[in-house]
Each structure stands twice: as C-alpha cells, then as structure tokens.
C-alpha cells in the first residue's frame, strides 16, 4: 500500500488506516478479543501502518486491545490515541465529562502509554474541545509531553478552524480528525481550507457514513441498543429512507467502475487531497479487504466532479449526533 504524509510534517502513514473503535465500543457489544487481534495483525500484513484508538473506547479496552495486537510491529506502525474525557459517575453517560486540564492530560498520557505498550504516543489527539480550558493551555501541555519524548505529534478532533489556528500557534498540529464523507461534507466550508493553509493533515473518521454508504443499511435495518446509531437522528428509520437516495447515486457510480459503494466513498476522499487519510473501521476481514481495495480505485478530476454533482442534489436529513454530542463539535 502507498503512504501519505499528514500535512507538512514528517508523519507518514498508509493511505488508508484502520479505525479500531467498533471492536470494543459504540457499534454494539465488544467483539471477541482474539478475533480482533487477528484482524489488526492481518491489516498490518496488508500494508496498513496507521491505527486509531482512544482511551474512552471501551472505556480503556480498545487501547489495551490495540497495544497487545501491535506490540510485535511497534517499529513499523503509527498508533493514534486521544485524551479529553474523564469518568463522571453521577451522569447517565459515565464518560460524558470533558477534561483537558494540563495536569489531567499528562496523567492520562502515562496511562495510555502503558495500555498501548509504547514508549511514546505517535499521534495524540484532543478528543473534543474543552471550553473550560484555553486551547493554548492544551497545546502547551502536549508540547511539554513532546519535549519529554512521550508524544511525537499533536492532533485535534472535531475542532473549529479558529480553534485549530490558536492551538497551532503554540504547538504545530500534525493532523485533524473529524467526520468527513459524501454523507457529511461540512468540513469543506472552513476547516479544509484552514488545514491546507497551515499544512495540517486530515484524518476523516466515519468515511463510510457510519456504515450507511456501504449500501448494507436500509430503512429496515435494526440496531442493537448498544449501537450508538440507535440514538442518532440521521439513522432514524424515516431519515434512512430519505437518505437512501445518496446511496443509490454512489451505487450507480460504483457499478459503472466495477467497484463497491464503499470503495467509491473512500476513493473519493483519497482523490480530494493528497494529505487526507481516511480510517474506516470494521470488525470483519472481508470488509477490511474491500476497504483496502479502495486504494486501487483511481478517480479522475472528472469522476470526482461527476460524483459530487450527482450526490449534491440529494438533501441529507437528520443530525449526525444526539443533542448532547452535537454540542461538542465545531467548537
């Protein structure tokens, strides 16, 4: 697999990474640990060098899984993880409290290092912007961790262009991770131009629209109570029925190019900018192979324009998060 550099820094990764969240959290009950270790190691064999996790996934389980799976390959892979949440036992969602205070960042970084079985965190994202802590203090804390050799690169997630600029002035931001796909193109308005100007890489999560763009989820699909999509307005039965028109557009486009809808959705991202690296997640080997096959689908500028023209005619219905989590993005 080819590699890409995230922005103007020296962070080089496979052009498609692997999001590991769903192996432990958010898309139903945790999957079998040994099966997931095997899947992660299979991804390494296929050329994937970029793996994404976070302390809150599980919580804590996913970092432990990724750490064990990748320990034999430590020198040849890049592991990204995230900070910024803390347990909040008094809340119905016990990890719904944000905390990016410098002392907290430094404490949880030590814990993540142990779970990941590494000496340094390759890419350390602030998971969500904490309005109680100046972003300059957050960037400064990560800068100190970098100076100490415990972190290699600073990242942000779901931050606004203005906040990215402020953080970048204190400690260069290597990559921004945010949702971006044909199902959600809002970053094109302000965020992507800012990243290009500052030389920051972009790591789209949910590049397959939380599975919707694969064409395997229709209005009749049922979600487990542990699957967060059961609470997402965009995934209500009514909105899935309306949003199916986008999947139909992508499916038609894919058939004309002997590819799957998922491969077209990923190939579109790869064609947008040379510093964009999507991280589709999966728990299935055949789906992993399908996703990685997107690297072989080359879309021309004309292809991209044709796909965007057709897909932009579809009005997407529903918010992408529940009310609580919607408040935490774009800050």
Q: What is the tens place of the pLDDT at every residue in 270-324? A: 999 999 999 999 999 999 999 999 999 999 999 999 999 999 999 999 999 988 8
Return the pLDDT at 7. Answer: 85
CA distance 17 to 280: 7
Q: What are the catalytic residues?
A: 57
CA distance 320 to 51: 24
Peptide bond into 59 cis (omega under 30): yes
Round the average pLDDT of the chain to a whole number and report it: 96
H/E element holding 158? Answer: none
Q: Is 179 exposed, middle or buried (0-12, 13-18, 19+ CB in 10 A)?
A: buried
Q: Is 265 exposed, middle or buried (0-12, 13-18, 19+ CB in 10 A)?
A: buried
Task: Write down the CATH number for the domain with range 3-208+273-295.
Answer: 3.20.20.100
Return the pLDDT at 163. Answer: 98
CA distance 270 to 272: 6
Return the pLDDT at 322. Answer: 87
pLDDT digits (tens, 9 = 90+) for 226-253: 899 999 999 999 999 999 999 999 999 9
Give the residue ranges of the chain where pLDDT is below 70: 88-94
List alpha helices for the chain, DSSP H.
33-45, 61-70, 102-116, 135-147, 161-170, 191-198, 237-256, 261-272, 285-292, 301-311, 323-326
CA distance 179 to 123: 18
Return the pLDDT at 19. Answer: 98
Q: What is the pTM of this model?
A: 0.97
CA distance 260 to 117: 37
CA distance 206 to 45: 23
Return the pLDDT at 94. Answer: 60
Return the pLDDT at 90. Answer: 62
Please provide the DSSP assignment of 22-89 as one string: GGTSSBSSPPPHHHHHHHHHHHHHTT--EEE--TTTTTTHHHHHHHHHHGGGGGG-EEEEEE-EE--T
């Amino acid at each position: 697999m080819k590699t890409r550099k995230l922005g103007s820094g020296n962070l080089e990764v496979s052009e498609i990474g692997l999001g590991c969240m769903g192996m432990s959290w958010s898309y139903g009950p945790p999957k079998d640990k040994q099966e997931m270790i095997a899947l992660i190691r299979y991804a390494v064999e296929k050329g994937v060098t970029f793996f994404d996790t976070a302390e809150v996934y599980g919580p804590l389980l996913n970092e432990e899984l990724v750490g064990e799976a990748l320990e034999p390959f430590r020198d040849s892979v890049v592991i990204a993880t995230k900070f910024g949440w803390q347990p909040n036992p008094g809340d119905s969602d016990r990890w719904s409290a944000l905390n990016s205070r410098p002392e907290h960042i430094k404490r949880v970084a030590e814990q993540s290092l142990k779970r990941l079985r590494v000496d340094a965190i390759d890419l350390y994202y602030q998971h969500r912007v904490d309005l109680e802590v100046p972003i300059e203090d957050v960037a400064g804390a990560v800068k100190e961790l970098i100076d100490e050799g415990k972190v290699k690169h600073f990242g942000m997630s779901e931050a606004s262009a203005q906040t990215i600029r402020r953080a970048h002035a204190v400690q260069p931001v290597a990559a921004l991770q945010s949702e971006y796909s044909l199902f959600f193109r809002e970053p094109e308005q302000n965020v992507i131009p800012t990243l290009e100007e500052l030389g920051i890489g972009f790591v789209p999560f949910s590049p397959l629209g939380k599975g919707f763009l694969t064409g395997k989820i229709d209005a009749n699909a049922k979600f487990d109570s542990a699957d967060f999509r059961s609470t997402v307005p965009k995934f209500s039965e009514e909105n899935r029925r309306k949003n199916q028109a986008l999947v139909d557009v992508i499916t038609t486009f894919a058939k004309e190019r002997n590819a799957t809808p998922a491969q077209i959705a990923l190939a579109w991202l790869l064609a947008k900018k040379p510093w964009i690296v999507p991280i589709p997640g999966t728990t299935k080997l055949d789906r992993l192979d399908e996703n990685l096959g997107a690297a072989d689908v080359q879309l021309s500028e004309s292809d991209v324009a044709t796909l965007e023209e057709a897909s932009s005619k579809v009005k997407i219905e529903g918010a992408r998060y529940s009310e609580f989590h919607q408040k935490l993005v774009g800050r």
